[in-house]
Structure 1
Amino acid sequence: MAGRITPSEGRYGGRNAAERRAERRERFRTAGLDLFGAGPGYRATRLGDLCKSAGLSTRQFYEEYRTLEDLLADLHLYVNEIAESAVLDVLPQVQELPLAERVTACTRAYLRGAAGDMRHARITYVEIVGVSPRINNQRLQRRAIWIELLNHLADEAVERGEAPPDNYRLASAALIGAINGLMHDWVVGWVAATREEIADELVRIILGRYRPTG
């Protein structure tokens, strides 16, 4: 009978508890993306507004998160994972290309993942800043991962003879800081440019530091 719980399977309406919880979490994420990333912003969003947007109750929210900050933290990691996957997916395809082409492909992939959806970009570069010590620590941890990835690409370029030996860890940290700063200013409208123009500028900055031979 439709809508009846089957105790032996723990199912309701054809879905088990894990599936229903995943659906609820996805609806809260979508509402968070809309309100934090495109609507009034994280600081101006109230729990009731979020639940109304998700079409769920506050009780259901508290089954998934403790606070709106927890949802923001979840969305920040979610967006970072999309951007990271975009870069990791393209890396095997460009391994045999020259350094300049690898950097260009990876930079464009990163921006597609991080800013292909402007809600993602606003959460990552604007809404997440200055929320709390806990969120700031999470943001710094994610920055450290990007610094390690950029440093790995630099070391790889040195091994191939495409870039001179140097301490690129310092350069990687500086580049990630520059990327975050530029992206913040772009998202809030202080920089007038297309995403492609942003990518081109970042490529020039990165290659200028690596000084590829030839």
Structure 2
Amino acid sequence: MPTDSTIDPKTTAQRPAATRAYRGASASAREAERRQRLLDTALTLFANQGYARTPIEQLCAEAKVTARHFYQLFGSREGLLKSLYGQLMADLKAALLSALSATQAELNEQLPLAVRALVEHYLNDTRRARVGVLEVVGVSADMERLRRAAIHDMANLIALYMAQLAAQGDLPARNYHLTSIAIVGGINELMADWLTASEPPSVAVLTLEISDFLTALVHGSHHLPQREIAL
């Protein structure tokens, strides 16, 4: 199994960065381009063959980046995965917020729109889902902390939505933090099952199932008592 030590970082000692332009591109622009090539390559390779089975040599070769530049940019293969995961989560959050800001729907009708945006963003390019849902699991304690932070970030958005519904009288006034984490976990597991199923349902069916699941959880809260949950 390939590891981050496949290439000896001692042979890739950092050198002073060049500042002059090369073929019309500044040093910082070339560095940004190399970084994005590695992220794009990692998205494809980690999704198609798995993070654990992707050596640094292959990443560098397919991204056309030297090992020295790789270590300067990311430090390790896990460092690359962390950066890629951060980019995926930022893009997902932006897609959700964009979908919500573009609609004039009533607050209690916005949940299906958010679900559709999430599913379409992830599953229209399944590489995103494979990395964001499957490949980041079990990598390391640091990676797990990042994954948990991302779950809580998405849960905070849902909790804010539910608090707004409560403020206008559509839900009981209570703390929806734990409910929101359960919602994110449920979506994650449905995605994981879809990605690993031998005969998965269509994206349309999955979207509807997730939407129904969230609607049942959110609007089922009408039957809950008004209380605060000590956290």
TM-score (structure 1 length as normaliser): 0.89
Provide closer, same or farther for how the CA distance between residues 130 and 117 of structure 1 changes in structure 2, counting only shifts above 3 A.
Answer: same
One-letter amino acid matched to 1:188: T
Say how many residue pairs are matched. 203
Q: Distance in 1 between matches of 2:199 and 2:115?
A: 18
For residue 52 of structure 2, give the secondary structure of its aligned residue in structure 1: helix
Q: Distance in 2 between matches of 1:152 and 1:106?
A: 13
For residue 44 of structure 1, give the secondary structure of its aligned residue in structure 2: coil
Q: Which runs of 4+ in 1 moved over 4 A?
A: none
Superposition RMSD in Å = 1.7
Matched, 1:82 2:124: no
1:90 and 1:105 in contact (8 A); partners too: yes
1:193 paired residue number: 201
- Report the more deviating stretch, 182-191 or 135-144: 182-191
Q: 1:83, CA displacement in angstroms? A: 0.7
* Identity, % of aligned positions: 29
1:4 paired residue number: none
1:83 and 1:112 in contact (8 A); partners too: no
One-letter amino acid matched to 2:30: R
Q: Distance in 2 between matches of 1:105 and 1:151?
A: 16
Matched, 1:25 2:35: yes
Q: Distance in 2 between matches of 1:198 and 1:169?
A: 25
1:184 paired residue number: 192
Provide closer, same or farther for how the CA distance between residues 142 and 190 of structure 1 changes in structure 2, counting only shifts above 3 A.
Answer: farther
For residue 12 of structure 1, give the secondary structure of its aligned residue in structure 2: coil
Give unpaired runs (5+ residues) of structure 1. Answer: 1-8
TM-score (structure 2 length as normaliser): 0.82
Q: Distance in 1 between matches of 2:219 and 2:50?
A: 40
2:116 paired residue number: 108
2:122 and 2:128 in contact (8 A); partners too: yes
